[in-house]
Structure 1
Amino acid sequence: MSWMSVDIGENRWLSVSYYCLRQGVSSGFRMRNWELQGCNDGLSWQMLCKHERDLSFGEQAHGVAGWAVENATAYRHFRILQTGKNSDAVHTGVLACAGIELYGALTLACCGRCAALVEIDGRALGSAAMLEGARAGEGVRGCSRALRRSGGGTRAAAEKALEAKGRREQREREVR
């Protein structure tokens, strides 16, 4: 059967708690039977969520749907594996997926090059240098120890971290 995969990058692992898919251009190829799978080596796939005769996408092209995932294991690679026919009567093996979004707890491994950590609400997020890089659109490249954070993209989180750091420094200056 057809499949598509995503590699979130070296030294990154995501424990998925929720995911969304966007249907392809044709409403005739709506996904009905698939699995969300994860692995760390690109070979040994584990099922995270299974769908059989799923009608979540409705009848329109580019439909979007999302599902909760009960998973405690973090993975680097993710794939959508079509396990049965789609809604098309002729081309039943075509996987028509225009997008995937994965949400959950992200773990970043140590690179050994970073300085002090920046925190948000008492949770270590990354070094100031890392966050400056993320603000510039370069993404988070490493950390001084394994870090975890939940939620959206690194750029938005970096913006919040830098704003929080600035407010904290401002309060400290006002107290002096």
Structure 2
Amino acid sequence: MDERGLFYYIGTQGRTQPWRNPAEAGWVTATWSSDNTGRPSDAFSRQPSECRTNSTNIPSWHMVDLGVGRLFTPTRYTLRHSNNQGYVEYRLQSWRLEGSLDGASWRTLDEHTNEPNAIPARPDAMATFAVAPAQAFPARHFRVLMSGPSPNGGNILMLSGLEMYGSLRQPQ
């Protein structure tokens, strides 16, 4: 994860303080569909981890609420896979990045279906994806929704990193 994205910006309070995980500091709220290993806040850590949901029926998801008054319009985003070699075949290959103003009504920002090589098959692998300008809109809530099985047929959502890029509107 780099120092140019939304969660780095929030985690340094606008680049005015040393980095803190924004979910652990309470500056954003992270949740997920079920917990197995790790915590939802691990997706905003600077270090890769073994962070995953339970093996449940799809769709599994990971969500972040930016908080009251914050709206973000993404242009691209980065996903990072788990740091565990044994789980490289659990990487995402079918998912949607979705946005919402209220956390209830969701719109698709980007979608990938059955792309086993979208995220490289190695621990800590990262990949960055564009949000088409026609799909972009300002939202307060974002989620990565697993929409199909991983390359090995599993239903475990492995996500140890999420960063987003675009424009932020914050309360004054």
- Normalising by structure 2, we get a TM-score of 0.60
Say whether the 8 Å CA contact 2:109–2:136 is kept in structure 1.
no
- Which structure shows the bigger proportion of residues in strand conformation? 1
Write the deviation string for residues 35-57 of structure 1: whole angstroms up to 9, x where unpaired: 00000111101000000122121
Write the deviation string for residues 143-165 of structure 1: whole angstroms up to 9, x where unpaired: 2xxxxxxxxxxxxxxxxxxxxxx
> 1:76 maps to what in 2?
140
Write the deviation string for residues 105-158 of structure 1: whole angstroms up to 9, x where unpaired: 10113xxxxxxxxxxxxxxxxxxxxxxxxxxxxxxxxx2xxxxxxxxxxxxxxx
- Is 1:14 aligned with 2:72? yes
Equivalent of residue 60 in structure 1, options 107, 122, 125: 122
The amino acid across from 1:38 in the alignment is: G
Say whether the 8 Å CA contact 2:78–2:162 is kept in structure 1.
yes
Alignment of 1:1-176 (within 5 A): 1-24=59-82, 25=84, 26-54=87-115, 55-70=117-132, 71-89=135-153, 92-109=154-171, 143=172
Say whether the 8 Å CA contact 2:70–2:169 is kept in structure 1.
yes
User: Whole-Å Cα distance in 1 between the matches of residues 136 and 99 of structure 2?
Assistant: 12
Write the deviation string for residues 61-120 of structure 1: whole angstroms up to 9, x where unpaired: 11100011024410000000000010224xx111001010011010113xxxxxxxxxxx
Say whether the 8 Å CA contact 2:93–2:151 is kept in structure 1.
yes
Q: Using CA pairs below 8 Å that are at least 6 residues apart, which structure has the higher relative contact order?
A: 2
Gaps of 5+ in 1: 110-142, 144-176
Say whether the 8 Å CA contact 2:79–2:163 is kept in structure 1.
yes
| Identical counterparts, % of pairs | 32
User: Whole-Å Cα distance in 2 between the matches of residues 72 and 66 of structure 1?
Assistant: 16
TM superposition outliers: structure 1 runs of 4+ over 6 Å = none
The amino acid across from 1:104 in the alignment is: G
> 2:49 maps to what in 1?
none
Say whether the 8 Å CA contact 1:40–1:77 is kept in structure 2.
yes
The amino acid across from 1:61 in the alignment is: P
- Normalising by structure 1, we get a TM-score of 0.59
Say whether the 8 Å CA contact 1:3–1:95 is kept in structure 2.
yes
User: Whole-Å Cα distance in 1 between the matches of residues 121 and 69 of structure 2?
Assistant: 39
Q: Larger radius of gyration, structure 1 or 2?
A: 1
Structure 1 pair 34–72 and aligned structure 2 pair: CA distance change class (3 A): closer
Gaps of 5+ in 2: 1-58
